[in-house]
Structure 1
Amino acid sequence: MKKLKLTALTLTAALALTACGSTAASTPAADSTAADAATSEAAGGDLLSEIQSKGTITIAMEGTWAPWTYHDENDDLVGYDVEVGTKIAEKLGVEPQFIEGEWDGLLAGLDAGRYDIMVNGVDITPERSEKYDFSIPYAYNRTAVITTKDNDSINTMEDLNGKTTANTISSTYAELAEQYGATVTGVDDLNQTFELLLSGRIDATLNAEVTFYDYTKEHPDANVKIAVLTDDANQVAIPLRKGEETATLRAAIDQAIEELRADGTLKELSEKYFGTDISTNE
């Protein structure tokens, strides 16, 4: 899938056209039962009906976090979340429109209504649940504390106290590291995180277990290891703005996820990108 670059001017113009009543023709997907089920509920004024009227759903993601969302050798935007977002859009009977940005900017854009949803490996947390409504989980993953192979000082989460880590600020992993007493350095993407770790400028980093395996698959000689692995898996879901405006959209997304899990699509995509099925908590 080709990377879609939208400037602020382009996005502003698009919003202006929508405000003036210009809509794009929708492209309903075949056998889109999630869309069919939601259409009868989608009265005027809610986000789902607006999305189906213009024929596109705006999906925010980083584009720098393999294998969730990243660019391949042809600079095409690919990854587990890209395909999940595309499949959900198909279920809703619309086309996906991906917009990339840094983590904090994506959340701010979701708050401001610049994006309809965010599909970017977002964990459900109590703090986020106070601010956003979440879909049902579409993936599960455990948290890994990653260090260099010669670092024997971190063997439990409690050992993070007084240590230095790096993650995107306000991410689940940064918050968890701080809860255990670590000092977190903010970074823009995963590559910067590993650069800091391998250069000895931080003691550890927290990330998804599957992200570690993907990194070591691409860098088999990297001087890294999993020092600690949490027992409980995080629930990965899609955040939406709170309110009645998003209620029918959330219900339609939930149904789409259920259908994608039931027909084996999520399992297939999981094994394609992670080498294991992360679509269930079993």
Structure 2
Amino acid sequence: MNKLITLFATAASLIVASVVPFGQAHAGEVLDKVLQSKTLTVAVGTDWGAISHLDKNHELVGYDVDIVKQIAKSLGVEPKFVTPSWDVITSGMWEGRWDIAMGQMVPTEARAKVLNFPAVNIWVPSVAVVHKDSKATQPSDLEGKVVGVTGGSSDADYANHSLTPAWTNAKPIQYQFKAGQVKTYGTANIAYDDLRLGDGVRLDAVLTDALSAQEVIKAGYPLKILKPALYSGPGAIAILRGDKEFSEKIAAVVNEMKDDGTLSELSKKWYGADYSKEQ
């Protein structure tokens, strides 16, 4: 009889496990791990411009880095940075390798199936960037052209006409052109390098956020931004779904930074303007 009960219990546990969504954290699991280890492991990039990059001392700095350091401080832990590729971050296949992802991820329906977005820390329009010699004057001129995007980005979704917003009060996306070919890159910087070679040499345009585009143009890249913007959306902090306590902790810290003006000041520090509020 005991063996029979054990068999039934085991079968029941397997059934329960099978209905838990892939990549979902258990309630309190991530927060408990962070507090016990005294470490908040953070996924960031080393070449994401003002978001996060390596300074001359090979230290990670940037807007998102400052924010996550404040989150770690509030939790009484130390931040530890890791640098996975963007497509792995957005996939939700974290497997416990990091606890939180920065990078100003745009919440979409597809991402919301595996990720939770406890706090928005920036609002930025997405734009089309072309070589300065391009005859294109507006995004609709890119009809049938070759465009570059970062793999797993919302700009890639836009280029493939599959962008479905999941943020509050989002307006339906209006696609201004249909690309002839969409080329995927590991980072926007590699796409910029291809575009700077000349109009149509490897790319006709790159789709990216306006702040990133402004940075590379300021750095001397022979590029220009087409108007109007493709769409405008929030950039959020991401965690795996399922840990309500962890989500609430992050939200509380960021909301406090909004209320006391810290987020606004950090935006001005790194971008020269306040992008912490909806544009």
TM beyond 0.5: yes
| Residue type of the alignment partner of 2:210 | E
- Partner residue of 1:170 out of 147, 152, 162: 152
Aligned partners of 1:172, 1:64: CA distance in 2, in Å?
Answer: 18
CA offset at residue 231 of structure 1? 7.0
Aligned partners of 1:159, 1:120: CA distance in 2, in Å?
Answer: 29
Aligned partners of 1:84, 1:229: CA distance in 2, in Å?
Answer: 30
Q: Is 1:198 matched up with 2:180?
A: no
Query: Secondary structure of 2:58's partner?
Result: coil
Aligned partners of 1:87, 1:62: CA distance in 2, in Å?
Answer: 18
1:113-192 superposed matches below 5 A: 113-153=96-136, 155-156=138-139, 158-179=140-161, 180-182=177-179, 183-192=181-190
Q: Is 1:224 matched up with 2:223?
A: yes
Q: Provide the aligned length of Structure 1 versus Structure 2.
A: 235
Query: Cα gap change, 1:70/1:114 in structure 2, threshold over 3 Å: closer, same or farther?
Result: same
- Partner residue of 1:79 out of 48, 62, 66: 62
Partner of 1:65: 48
**Contact kept? 2:100, 2:239, Cα under 8 Å:** yes
Aligned partners of 1:45, 1:188: CA distance in 2, in Å?
Answer: 33
Query: Secondary structure of 1:238's partner?
Result: strand
Query: Cα gap change, 1:229/1:209 in structure 2, threshold over 3 Å: closer, same or farther?
Result: farther
Name stretches of at least 5 consecutive residues in structure 1 with no aligned partner.
Answer: 1-42
**Contact kept? 1:61, 1:106, Cα under 8 Å:** no
Aligned partners of 1:120, 1:239: CA distance in 2, in Å?
Answer: 9
Q: Which moved more, 1:44-53 or 1:75-84?
A: 44-53
CA offset at residue 212 of structure 1? 1.5
CA offset at residue 45 of structure 1? 5.0
Q: CA RMSD in A?
A: 2.0
**Contact kept? 2:52, 2:60, Cα under 8 Å:** yes
Aligned partners of 2:158, 2:90: CA distance in 1, in Å?
Answer: 18
- Partner residue of 1:256 out of 249, 253, 256: 253
CA offset at residue 233 of structure 1? 2.3
Aligned partners of 2:74, 2:111: CA distance in 1, in Å?
Answer: 26
User: Deviations for 1:243-271, whole angstroms, at most 9, x for unmatched residues?
Assistant: 2xx11000010001101111111111111
Aligned partners of 2:196, 2:219: CA distance in 1, in Å?
Answer: 15
Taking structure 1 as the reference length, the TM-score comes to 0.77
Query: Secondary structure of 1:120's partner?
Result: strand
- Partner residue of 1:268 out of 243, 262, 265: 265
Query: Secondary structure of 1:135's partner?
Result: strand
| Residue type of the alignment partner of 1:111 | W
CA offset at residue 106 of structure 1? 2.9
Partner of 1:21: none
CA offset at residue 110 of structure 1? 5.0
Identical amino acids, percent of aligned pairs: 29
Query: Secondary structure of 1:233's partner?
Result: strand
Partner of 2:5: none
Aligned partners of 1:202, 1:44: CA distance in 2, in Å?
Answer: 45
Q: Is 1:46 matched up with 2:29?
A: yes
Name stretches of at least 5 consecutive residues in structure 2 with no aligned partner.
Answer: 1-25, 162-176
Aligned partners of 1:181, 1:126: CA distance in 2, in Å?
Answer: 21
Partner of 2:78: 95
Partner of 2:8: none
Query: Cα gap change, 1:231/1:106 in structure 2, threshold over 3 Å: closer, same or farther?
Result: closer
CA offset at residue 44 of structure 1? 8.9
Q: Is 1:242 matched up with 2:241?
A: yes
